[in-house]
Amino acid sequence: MIILELYLSFLKIGTFSIGGGYVMLPLIQQEIIENRAWLSLPEFLNILAIAEMTPGPVAINSATFIGYLAGGFWGAAFATAGVVTPSLVLMVAAASLLSHFYQNRWVRAALDGLRPAVLALIASAAIFVAESAVTDIMSAIFFLAVMALLLLTRLHPVLVLLLAAAAGLIFYS
């Protein structure tokens, strides 16, 4: 049953994605595109773009959109529930335990080791998306222009996304 499969797939993704939505991208790619073939890579990239532009965490937005495409309304509900279940359980447990053990050197050392690992997972996701999204000279120019706008100006990211969409309409239509 697709609903149960969506829940279990996103439960697995949510369980093994320490660090947030961008860390989940390689896991989503493996589980949803390669293992289950619920989406193609171009479909996934479109969902990722929509998930980025809509309010809320990218992981939850992605799970909701993927679940909807694969299983309709209930697919969206169960995929979203699956991806948030591990975080909910861990946050409740962490809130009650971490305050007691945060000063413990072993806990601090483990957290210090997780930070660079999370950064590596985010970098891996960025490289994956870049390899799939930068497909021609125009998309490379867009990438460099948007990166420059984000790093060198104080423009709001939503404005930069709107400018990129307008440029896409101009140059790709």
- DSSP codes, 91-111: HHHHHHHHHHHTTSHHHHHHH
Does residue 158 have a pLDDT over 90?
no
Half-sphere exposure of 77 (CA within 13 A, CB side): 4
Please report, for the chain, the start and end positions of each structural domain, with discontinuous segments joined by +.
2-133, 135-173
CB 19 within 8 A of CB 121: yes
Q: Amino acid identity of 151?
A: L
Give the pLDDT confidence score for residue 47 in this predicted structure.
87
- Residue 73's CB is within 10 A of a number of other CB atoms, namely 9
Read off the pLDDT of residues 2-48 as tens digits, 9 standing for 90 and up. 999 999 999 998 888 776 667 777 888 888 888 999 988 888 888 88
pTM of the predicted model, to two decimals? Answer: 0.61
Read off the pLDDT of residues 40-99 as tens digits, 9 standing for 90 and up. 888 888 888 888 888 888 888 989 999 999 999 999 999 999 999 988 898 888 778 777
Which residue from 51, 78, 54, 53 is spatially nearest to 65, judged by alpha carbons?
Answer: 51
The SS3 assignment for 154 reads coil
Give the pLDDT confidence score for residue 169 in this predicted structure.
92
Give the pLDDT confidence score for residue 19 in this predicted structure.
67
Give the pLDDT confidence score for residue 97 in this predicted structure.
77
- CA angle, 98 as apex, 97 and 99 as ends, to 5°? 95
- For residues 163-168, give the mean pLDDT: 90
- Plot region of 37 (φ>0 → left; ψ -120 to 50 → alpha; else → beta): left
Give the pLDDT confidence score for residue 124 in this predicted structure.
86
pLDDT band at 105 (very low <50, low <70, confident <90, very high): confident
Give the pLDDT confidence score for residue 101 in this predicted structure.
77
Distance CA 77, CA 41 (A): 22
CB 27 within 8 A of CB 13: yes
Sign of the torsion formed by the C-alpha atoms of 24, 30, 33 and 37: negative
